[in-house]
Amino acid sequence: MRQLLSLTTLGCFVVPNLLRSTMAWRSHGATNTELVANLKANGIITSAEVEKAMLRTDRGKYILEVNKPYQDAPQGIGYGVTISAPHMHAHALEILKDHLKEGNKVLDVGSGSGYLTVCMALMVNQPLTSYNYYIRSNGVPTAW
């Protein structure tokens, strides 16, 4: 029986030990382009599809940490919530790339900032339809 590790922040399942032993957290960049190039140089991004999607989705537009948006580390997005580190997004996209083909549809539950959802939408070349429903810490639901 294959053991699966659930990554609820990414809304997908990942087989353990697929991430290379490279120190992914050393993939920082000064720009989104540099970050993606470093993820590729460190062997985290291995396919042209994932590289293209991550280059087209500027991480700096999805986080609040204006001084370090291209650090390969989790960053705050408000309400005590973080966006996952870029190497985690790249890893998830690499695992899912064979399913993220043009014309397919994606359901991303727990999409957080929406960064990974946008990358997946670009990979399937479909318009993004997003429905957000949050329950804030005060228990008040918010939908938009």
Neighbouring residues of 110: CB distance < 8 A, sequence distance ≥ 6: 8, 9, 11
Here the tokens at position 69 are 């948006």
Residue 84 designated active-site: yes
Question: Catalytic pick from 21, 47, 84, 137?
Answer: 84
Q: Identify the helix (H) or strand (E) that includes residue 32.
A: helix 32-41
HSE-up of residue 28 (Cα within 13 Å, Cβ side): 10
For the annotated catalytic residues, the residue numbers are: 84
